[in-house]
Structure 1
Amino acid sequence: MAQVRSKVLGIDLGTTNSCTAIIELGEPKVITNSEGKRLTPSVVGFSKKNELLVGELAKRQIVSNPENSVQSIKRYMGKPDYRVPLNNEHYTPHGISAMILQKLKVDAEKYLGDAVGKAVITVPAYFNDSQRFATKKAGEMAGLDVLRVINEPTAAALAYGLRDGVQDQKILVYDLGGGTFDVSILKIKHGVFEVLATCGDTELGGDDFDRKIVDYLLSEFKEAEGTDLSENVEAMQRIKEAAERCKVDLSSLMTANVDLPYISENKRLDMEVSREQFEAMTEDLVNKTISIMEKSLKDAGLSPQDIDEVILVGGSTRIPAVAKRVEDFMEKSPLQSINPDEVVAMGAAVQAGILGNEYLKSSGNQQVDSGNLVLLDVTSLTLGFETVGDTTAFIIPRNTTIPTRNSKVFTTHYDNQEVVRGKILQGEEQEASKNVALGTIILENIPPSLKGVPRIEVTFDIDANGIINATARDLATGNMRSVTIERPAGLND
Structure 2
Amino acid sequence: MVYIGIDLGTTYSCVSVIEDGKPVAIVCEDGKPTIPSVVAYCEPEILVGNPALMCNTDVTNILYDSKRLIGWHVLNDLPNAETRQLWTFNVDARNNVAGYVLNKGAAEEKFLTPEEVSAEILKKLKATAEKYLSTKVTGAVVTVPALFNSDQIAATKRAVELAGLELKYLLKEPTSAAIAYNHKKKFENSKLLIFDFGGGTLDISIAEIKDKDLEVKAVGGDTQLGGQDFDGKIMKYSIDEFAKSSSNYDIVNKPKLIKRLRAACKEGKEALSFNLSSYNIHIDINDELDLNVAMTSNKLNELCNELYNKAMHQVDNVLNTAQLKASQIDHVILVGGMARIPFLQQKLTDKFGNDKLKFDINPDEAVAYGAAIVANALEKGIAIPLINNTMNELARNINNLQIGGDNSSTNSHKILFYCPDPPEWRRYASVAYFKDKLYYLGGGDRKTRKDTNRVNMEDGEKDLLFLSQLVWFKQ
Q: Which residue of 2 aligns with 1:126?
A: 147
Contact kept, 8 Å, 2:150 with 2:438, in 1: the verdict is: no
Q: Distance in 2 between matches of 1:181 and 1:159?
A: 18
Q: Where does 1:478-493 land on structure 2 (aligned, <5 Å)?
A: none
Q: Confirm or deny that 1:425 pairs with 2:420.
A: no
Q: CA deviation at 1:167?
A: 2.1
Describe the SS at the equivalent of 1:83: strand
Q: CA deviation at 1:215?
A: 0.4
2:269 to 223, 241, 247: 247
Q: Which residue of 2 aligns with 1:25?
A: 20
Q: Distance in 1 between matches of 2:418 and 2:217?
A: 7
Q: Which has the larger radius of gyration?
A: 1
Q: Confirm or deny that 1:150 pairs with 2:171.
A: yes
Describe the SS at the equivalent of 1:28: strand
1:351 to 374, 395, 408: 374
Q: Which residue of 2 aligns with 1:365?
A: none
Q: CA deviation at 1:378?
A: 5.2
Q: CA deviation at 1:394?
A: 7.1
Question: Residues 155 and 424 of structure 1: is their aligned pair in 2 closer, same or farther, counting only changes over 3 Å?
Answer: closer
What is the percentage of aligned positions where both structures have the same residue?
Answer: 35
Q: Which residue of 1 aligns with 2:134?
A: 113
Q: Confirm or deny that 1:85 pairs with 2:101.
A: yes
Contact kept, 8 Å, 1:197 with 1:378, in 2: the verdict is: no
2:8 to 10, 13, 16: 13
Q: Deviations over 1:406-450 (max 9, x none)?
A: 49xxxxxxxxxxxxxxx9623489869999999x9899xxxxxxx
Q: Distance in 2 between matches of 1:12 and 1:119?
A: 10
Q: Deviations over 1:96-140 (max 9, x none)?
A: 001110111111111111111211110111111111111111001
Describe the SS at the equivalent of 2:168: strand
The one-letter amino acid paired with 2:312 is I
1:56 to 50, 54, 63: 50
Question: Residues 104 and 383 of structure 1: is their aligned pair in 2 closer, same or farther, counting only changes over 3 Å?
Answer: farther
Contact kept, 8 Å, 1:26 with 1:358, in 2: the verdict is: no
2:305 to 255, 268, 283: 283
Contact kept, 8 Å, 1:13 with 1:123, in 2: the verdict is: yes
Q: Which residue of 1 aligns with 2:190?
A: 169
Name the structure with the higher strand share. 1
Q: Distance in 2 between matches of 1:306 and 1:176?
A: 22
Q: Distance in 2 between matches of 1:371 and 1:218?
A: 49
Question: Residues 198 and 372 of structure 1: is their aligned pair in 2 closer, same or farther, counting only changes over 3 Å?
Answer: closer
Q: CA deviation at 1:244?
A: 0.3
Q: Deviations over 1:128-176 (max 9, x none)?
A: 1111111111001111111111111110000011111222111101011
| Aligned-residue RMSD, C-alpha | 3.3
Q: CA deviation at 1:332?
A: 3.4
Q: Deviations over 1:6-59 (max 9, x none)?
A: 221110000001001112222222122244321011100123x53211112102
Question: Residues 129 and 67 of structure 1: is their aligned pair in 2 closer, same or farther, counting only changes over 3 Å?
Answer: same
Q: Where does 1:445-484 land on structure 2 (aligned, <5 Å)?
A: none
Q: CA deviation at 1:331?
A: 2.8
Q: Distance in 1 between matches of 2:240 and 2:413?
A: 46
Q: Distance in 2 between matches of 1:435 and 1:319?
A: 43
Q: Deviations over 1:266-310 (max 9, x none)?
A: 311112111111100101101101110101011111111001100
The one-letter amino acid paired with 2:125 is L
The one-letter amino acid paired with 1:82 is A
Contact kept, 8 Å, 2:217 with 2:398, in 1: the verdict is: no
Q: Which residue of 1 aligns with 2:65?
A: 72
Q: Distance in 2 between matches of 1:136 and 1:356?
A: 19
Q: Confirm or deny that 1:341 pairs with 2:334.
A: no
Q: Distance in 2 between matches of 1:272 and 1:45?
A: 31
Relative to the length of structure 2, the TM-score reads 0.78
Describe the SS at the equivalent of 1:33: coil
Question: Residues 194 and 424 of structure 1: is their aligned pair in 2 closer, same or farther, counting only changes over 3 Å?
Answer: closer
Q: Where does 1:68-467 land on structure 2 (aligned, <5 Å)?
A: 68-80=61-73, 81-86=97-102, 88-226=109-247, 227-251=249-273, 252-261=275-284, 263=285, 266-333=288-355, 334-357=357-380, 370=384, 374=388, 377=393, 379=395, 396-398=415-417, 406=435, 425-427=439-441
Q: Where does 1:30-41 land on structure 2 (aligned, <5 Å)?
A: 30-41=25-36
The one-letter amino acid paired with 1:55 is G
Question: Residues 383 and 264 of structure 1: is their aligned pair in 2 closer, same or farther, counting only changes over 3 Å?
Answer: farther
The one-letter amino acid paired with 1:396 is I
The one-letter amino acid paired with 1:337 is D
Unaligned 5+ runs, structure 1: 1-5, 360-368, 408-422, 444-453, 459-493
The one-letter amino acid paired with 2:415 is I
The one-letter amino acid paired with 1:75 is R
Q: CA deviation at 1:353?
A: 2.3
Describe the SS at the equivalent of 2:311: helix
Q: Tell me the matched-pair count.
A: 407
Relative to the length of structure 1, the TM-score reads 0.75
Describe the SS at the equivalent of 1:374: coil
Range with bigger deviation, 428-437 or 132-141: 428-437
Describe the SS at the equivalent of 2:279: strand
Q: Distance in 1 between matches of 2:244 and 2:449?
A: 40
